[in-house]
Amino acid sequence: MTERLLAPPEAARDEAIAIVGAGPAGLTTAWELARLGRRATLYEKDRCVGGIAQTAEYKGFRFDLGGHRFFTKVGEVQGIWEEILGDDFLSRPRLSRIYYRQRFFDYPLKPLNALAGLGPVEAVRIVASYAKARLLPSREERNFEQWVSNRFGRRLFEVFFKTYTEKVWGLPCEEISADWAAQRIQNLDLGRAIAAALFGRSGGDVVTTLIHQFHYPRHGPGMMWERCAERLAVAGSPTRLEHELVRIDHRDGRVTGIAVRDGEGRVAERPVEHLICSIPLGRAAELLSPPPTAPVLAAARGLRHRDFLTVVLIVDRAELFPDNWIYVHEPAVRVGRIQNFKNWSPEMVPDPGRTALGLEYFANRGDEVWSLPDAELVALAKREIEQLGLAEAAAVSDGTVVRVPYAYPVYDPGYRERVAAVRACLEGLANLQMIGRNGQHRYNNQDHSMLTGIYAARNVLEPAHDVWDVNVDEEYHEAVSAARGGDRLTPAAAGEATLEELLHAHFARFDGVALGAATAVTLALLLFAATASVLLVGNGDHPGPMLSLLGHYFFGFELSWRGALVGVLEAGALGFVLGSGLAVAINALINWVERSLQRELEAEQKLDSLQGVTR
């Protein structure tokens, strides 16, 4: 690990640098500024640092607000974590599953596990739906439903995505932008995942959703940010807790000062040379004095957030289930996700004979769930944890509730236009930078938020970094090629595409391995289902002409369970060959059509050029 010492306070320059919000983005900004020899003052309206990545505590039980894996592809972010946490930065095994129809399914989805758990009839429906999606995909990908269905098939979308997603957002899937799916689900499709399960993964890419281990602070994510704030205070950059920003003064295209209100209601004005904010984007626009135009204010007030609350149950049992967290897709209960904090780190609980569970309920401030008294929420969580069969209600000895506002920026219709309007207004103030998840109304991971803070700090010295150019590339979430090594991944703006590149992007090719794997699974399941149905009804002496003929084509196939297994393997191999061959043929036809169209368009361009010269 490379040591990155902070500048001592006596060596730091005094400038009026204000950072509003002491979550991962704000604290990382102050950390980078201190490393560069600049002091700053942080203002946080909460009673503790960390934002949504704080660690709360109740009677010695620590718990995370939402579950925060420490995983990044950004070397500098990893270095900050390791420097601050040292030996308290644990490596933990990851296990997360989906609970659906009283069964557990692996997450990330492992198709063979999912298909086996759902049964042969549902498995055939899913594979057939996937094949249809590959052959006849939706040409539009404007919403979440279209995006997922194109990659997994509509049936798998209905089974594993629809219920949970609508619990999280409180919106129908057709009203959720495809942007959110592209950022959060990553570029995994059913065919690729089946191929990986059957044949292994090739190449040097590492896909985020397939990470089986992650780092985690010994006492939760708040440990990281509390320690960061302590070291910053020693370096001359204090954090003022319970200080809320209430006004941003500006003149002639620059912020001139801010007003903050402390925990006792006193308002103080502070001059600033630089202002860096991670508060909600729309809220920043509302605090401007003088205020922005009416359309900008309307856009700011139209930016929505989804909130959630965690009901923590103290269960008098040493072990309950091995998962770090469980996604609850069961529509019969309200809970959306369940955290087992003891499995994140054993030191999250004070007594190894007891377990703390966090049941997460997604809500909007002021709605029915959000407004329930704490005692009723604890009672609801006890009923549902028993209904799911994960713990007995009688074993729950205590509980508490933590509400988390502004947890998730909502990607609803029109959000892009609203963000653009507010951003344009705020970017008119040369010394104001908006960072982090809420500051950019973008579903950033913790490391993305930290990277915006690093860029903002460097911009104080020399404005050479675009803080909005983090987490704009879908590929950021998906894979890092081994050839890139430890280089920081920073999405670059796309250059002007050539005609050939534009055509290639619009003529989708079939993945031969994916289509081959899907065909293999379909044929294998059909053969097994047909053979099993005959064997189970005891009609093996009269199997019918089709099954009888299969013995001529599949070596070793017979009407027995052993023969069925042999037939499944051979049918799978045949299906893979047929499917991959079909993909090759279709791709060859697509290539021919693409080349023909390219030649026609190039001829038209040449004709247009000649006509332009002769005019």
pLDDT, position 196: 52
Average pLDDT (357-384) is 97
Which residue, among 331, 407, 358, has the nearest Cα to 164 in the 3D structure? 331
Measured between alpha carbons, how far is 38 from 40 in angstroms, rounded to an integer?
A: 7
Average pLDDT (347-370) is 96
Measured between alpha carbons, how far is 283 from 293 in angstroms, rounded to an integer?
A: 14
The one-letter code for the residue type at 534 is V
- For 37-46, 65-74, 179-188, 581-590, which range has the lowest pLDDT when averaged over its residues? 179-188
pLDDT of 163 higher than 50: yes
Tokens standing for 511? 């993945």
pLDDT, position 37: 95
The answer to whether 64 and 339 have CB atoms below 8 angstroms apart is: yes
Measured between alpha carbons, how far is 83 from 468 in angstroms, rounded to an integer?
A: 26
Tokens standing for 186? 């990553």
Give 469: exposed, middle or buried? Use CB within 10 Å, 0-12, 13-18, 19+.
middle
Q: Which residues contact 290 (CB under 8 A, 6 or more apart)?
A: 250
Nearest-5° Cα angle at 570, 567 to 571: 80
The answer to whether 315 and 382 have CB atoms below 8 angstroms apart is: no
Measured between alpha carbons, how far is 301 from 485 in angstroms, rounded to an integer?
A: 43
The answer to whether 207 and 478 have CB atoms below 8 angstroms apart is: yes
Tokens standing for 221? 């994510």
pLDDT, position 500: 59
pLDDT of 199 higher than 90: no
How do residues 310-344 score in pLDDT, each as one tens digit?
999 999 999 999 999 999 999 999 999 999 999 99
Q: What are the distances in angstroms from CA 422 to CA 292, 303, 419, 493?
A: 9, 10, 5, 22
Average pLDDT (283-293) is 98
Which residue, among 419, 305, 411, has the nearest Cα to 365 in the 3D structure? 305
How do residues 245-260 score in pLDDT, each as one tens digit?
999 999 999 999 999 9
pLDDT, position 545: 54
pLDDT, position 609: 46
Q: What are phi and psi of 190, to 5 degrees?
A: -60, -45
Read off the pLDDT band of 229 (50, 70, 90). Answer: very high
Read off the pLDDT band of 359 (50, 70, 90). Answer: very high
Given CA atoms 110, 114, 120, 125 in this order, what sign does their dihedral have?
negative
Q: Which residue has the higher pLDDT, 521 or 96?
A: 96
pLDDT of 489 higher than 90: no
pLDDT of 373 higher than 80: yes
Measured between alpha carbons, how far is 247 from 271 in angstroms, rounded to an integer?
A: 12
Measured between alpha carbons, how far is 343 from 319 in angstroms, rounded to an integer?
A: 10
DSSP for 492-525 reads ----PPPHHHHHHHHSPPP-HHHHHHHHHHHHHH
Residue 439's H or E segment, with its range, is: helix 436-439
pLDDT of 82 higher than 50: yes
Q: Across the chain, what does the average pLDDT equal? A: 83
Model confidence pTM above 0.95: no
Measured between alpha carbons, how far is 274 from 259 in angstroms, rounded to an integer?
A: 14
- For 14-28, 125-139, 374-388, 507-521, which range has the lowest pLDDT when averaged over its residues? 507-521
Count of other CB atoms within 10 angstroms of residue 247: 14
End-to-end CA distance of the chain: 66
Average pLDDT (127-135) is 84
What does the H/E/C string look like for 550-585? HHHHCCCCCCCHHHHHHHHHHHHHHHHHHHHHHHHH
Which residue, among 534, 525, 533, 514, has the nearest Cα to 568 in the 3D structure? 525
pLDDT, position 485: 32
Query: For the CA atoms of the chain, what is the radius of gyration?
Result: 28
How do residues 567-604 score in pLDDT, each as one tens digit?
677 777 877 888 888 878 877 777 777 777 766 666 66
pLDDT of 233 higher than 50: yes
User: 167-184 b/e with 16+ CB inside 10 Å = b?
Assistant: bbbbbebebbbbbbbbbe
Cis peptide, bond prior to residue 9, ω within 30 of zero: no
The answer to whether 287 and 247 have CB atoms below 8 angstroms apart is: yes
Measured between alpha carbons, how far is 310 from 52 in angstroms, rounded to an integer?
A: 12
Measured between alpha carbons, how far is 384 from 362 in angstroms, rounded to an integer?
A: 15
Domains, the chain, ranges and CATH? 9-54+70-86+216-300+414-476 (3.50.50.60), 109-210 (no CATH), 305-409 (3.90.660.20), 512-614 (no CATH)
Highest mean pLDDT among 409-413, 451-455, 502-506, 533-537: 451-455
Measured between alpha carbons, how far is 25 from 29 in angstroms, rounded to an integer?
A: 6
Measured between alpha carbons, how far is 191 from 131 in angstroms, rounded to an integer?
A: 9
Q: What are the distances in angstroms from CA 268 to CA 173, 237, 463, 537?
A: 45, 19, 29, 83
pLDDT of 4 higher than 60: no
How do residues 500-544 score in pLDDT, each as one tens digit?
555 555 556 666 776 777 787 787 777 777 777 766 666 545 555
Cis peptide, bond prior to residue 108, ω within 30 of zero: yes
The one-letter code for the residue type at 439 is G
How do residues 469-485 score in pLDDT, each as one tens digit?
997 654 444 333 333 33
Read off the pLDDT band of 487 (50, 70, 90). Answer: very low
> Taking each helix axis from N to C terminus, what angle separates 512-536 and 561-614, rounded to the nearest 10 degrees?
150
pLDDT, position 131: 83
pLDDT, position 590: 72
Average pLDDT (395-415) is 95
- For 292-296, 431-435, 437-441, 573-577, which range has the lowest pLDDT when averaged over its residues? 573-577
Share of the chain above pLDDT 90, in %: 56
